[in-house]
Amino acid sequence: EMDMPRITVNGRATEVDADPATPLIYVLRNDLALNGPKLGCGRAQCGACTVLVDGHAARSCQVKLGDVAGAQQITTLEGLGTPEAPHALQAAFIAEQAAQCGYCTSGMIMQAAALLAERRSGLTEAQVAEALEHNLCRCGTQPRVVRAVMRASR
Ligand code: FES
């Protein structure tokens, strides 16, 4: 019998009864009931599945459970803030009404969280747009998303 992979998500360590080759997004959604990350393309193209691994944006459709078993800290939208105490980005997305259908929103916020963790002061709209260029939105919310990230960066 093999040891079950152990991962740390939103500060909580948990053993997962799944094959190490399982894409992380399935573990997050199906085993841990974290529905922030969305499955879009499943091919690293859309960004809907973006989470943080040790603070860096990662596409959870491409990360295997076995890749992040151990010491890595995984953060999903649910770990960023709470309804009572939202992260600055979550508050800013609401204030700017930066979601339309909302499917891309979690990935946008996580990608932006990685950006803000990296640099915050003096961020330009062009830099924000570039950082989110590979997070796709079919509703056309990008201008509002950029405004929300700028708001959160101040
Ligand atoms: Fe992972 Fe589209 S679902 S990038």
List every span in the chain annotated with CATH 3.10.20.30: 6-79
pLDDT tens string 33-56: 999 999 999 999 999 999 999 999
**For residue 8, what are the β-bridge partners?**
13, 73
Each residue's pLDDT tens digit, 54-66: 999 999 999 999 9
Work out the percent of the chain whose per-residue pLDDT is above 90.
Answer: 92
| Residues 6+ away with beta carbon under 8 Å from 47 | 40, 59, 104, 107, 108, 111, 134, 135, 136
Q: Tell me which fold the domain 88-153 belongs to.
A: DNA polymerase; domain 1 (1.10.150)
- pLDDT band of 1, cuts 50, 70, 90: low
pLDDT attached to residue 120: 77
Using pLDDT thresholds of 50, 70 and 90, give the confidence band for residue 73. Answer: very high
Q: What is the pairing mode between strands 73-75 and 6-9?
A: parallel
Residues 7/13, Cβ–Cβ less than 8 Å: yes
Of the residues 49, 135, 138, which should be mutated to test ligand 1's pocket, given the most ligand atoms within 8 Å of the CB? 49
Residue 46 Cβ < 6 Å to ligand 1: yes
pLDDT over 70, % of the chain: 99
Beta strands in 24-106 (DSSP E): 50-53, 56-59, 73-75
What's the confidence (pLDDT) of residue 79?
97
- Predicted ipTM of the assembly: 0.99
3-class state of residue 118 by DSSP: helix
Q: Is the Cβ–Cβ distance between 89 and 147 less than 8 Å? A: no
What residues does CATH 1.10.150.120 cover in the chain? 88-153
pTM: 0.95
CATH says 6-79 is which class? Answer: alpha beta
What is the three-class DSSP state of 44?
Answer: coil
Tokens for 89, please give them.
């980005």
As a dihedral over the C-alpha atoms of residue 11, residue 97, residue 149, residue 113, rounded to 10 degrees, the angle is 10
**Cβ(39) to ligand 1 under 6 A?**
yes
Tens of pLDDT, residue by residue over 98-136, are: 999 999 999 999 999 999 999 878 999 999 999 999 999
CB of 80 within 6 A of ligand 1: the answer is no
Select from 45, 63, 106 the residue to mutate for testing ligand 1; criterion: most ligand atoms less than 8 Å from CB.
45
pLDDT of res. 2: 65
d(CA 80, CA 104): 16
